[in-house]
Amino acid sequence: MATAADKKEDLAGPGIGDYAELAGILPDDYRSLLSPRETMRALYAAKRLIEDRLCEELNLTMVQVPLIVESASGVNDYLDRDGSRTPVGFHISNDRDLHPVDAEVVQAATKWKRMALCQFDMQPGEGLLTDMRAVRKDYFLDHDHSVYVDQWDWEKTIAPEQRTLEYLTESVRSIWRVIKEVEIFLWETWPALTDPRYPPLPDELTFIHAEDILAAYPDLPRKQRETAILQEHPAIFIYGIGWPLADGLPHELRASDYDDWSTETVSADGRPMHGLNGDILVWNPITRRRHELMSGGVRVTKESLVRQLELSDQLEFLELPYHQAILADEIPLSVGAGIGQSRTMMLLLQKAHLGEVSVTVWPEILKRMCADRNIHVLE
């Protein structure tokens, strides 16, 4: 039985404590189904198809996205609300420090893309899709967490009446349709991927509230609860991540200034709930672990922004330009999410490690661990 301290410790981070634990998790019987060259061919074919189909399904337009933003803008994503993940910052001296700029490498484009809806004149029902790159220096580097992050970050303008669980659910179903179509395309084009050990993804997601997962597994920390529910339903969307549940803790910590995790909602069977956001999680048969593909939801209004910053003791953020724009109704209501590119490719191409589909830095201990298990990371 997990203690309260165990549950609290599990609210952020990958859930793997150290490399001794990771050594017991990585598969010992692994072989890649595609060569590195074929992996790249399949990856880019899938990437093009996913981008095209997301734009069609959600009525999005591909746009450019920043790698760096001004530190003072408040636009950077802090990923959670405990202050444990801070961006890479640097000083641009510019003109012998007469006109300097302090900048940060983005950790995600979550806030920027909501503001960009105005820049690209996105009306209700229209949105944008980005091929986002980021750096998250405070991750523990394991098989599916990297300092280098690539995401399909998308954002869509919505009307006030669309701020509902029903609208969010339909948006998530559209994304799942794209993922399933791409899986079928890859299996038909690269038959080596049809390994009987790895079953296809379910045709449909199971939608479930974080409160219901806690009720089903009250004695387990969050990631163990997710693992347990994925044994019953191998592809799920979890509603309401960020609001304190019946045990007094949120399912997971979430930043206070983009996803709306505090608004009162009603479950399909009429029970009171909170939160207009969530995650897509699947069971990965190669790593035999939970595998997160997407995180997002309906974004905060000025009322829920203030409420969530107050709950998180971060009201000082209200002085930043991004937050001021929300308070002044200068940026539209929206829904959006980040879909992990390498995470998705890792799953669809039956890989054991992110390093097989993306190039970044890994510690020597992890590279040796992978080499010993026939997992060849790119360099």
Residues labelled catalytic = 77, 136, 151, 279, 292, 295
First-residue to last-residue Cα distance in the chain = 42
Question: Hunting for tokens 């189909």 — which residue is that?
Answer: 53
The tokens of 373 are what?
Answer: 């298990």
The tokens of 71 are what?
Answer: 């530190």
> What is the chain's Cα-based Rg?
20
Alpha carbon of residue 8 to chain centroid? 20
Distance CA 328, CA 196 (A): 55
Closest residue by Cα to residue 279 from 290, 261, 293: 293
Burial 114-132 (b: 16+ CB within 10 A, else e): bbbbeeeebeeebbbbbeb
Residue partners of 347: CB distance under 8 A and separation at least 6: 282, 284, 291, 293
Inter-helix orientation angle 36-58/165-189, to 10°: 150
Transcribe 136-187 into DSSP letters: -TTS--SSS--SEEEEEEEEEE--GGG-SHHHHHHHHHHHHHHHHHHHHHHH
Phi and psi, residue 5, nearest 5°: -65, -40
Alpha carbon of residue 210 to chain centroid? 16
Distance CA 359, CA 362 (A): 9
3-state secondary structure 294-331: EEEEEECCHHHHHHHHHHCCCHHHHHCHHHHHHHCCCC
Closest residue by Cα to residue 134 from 35, 66, 41: 66
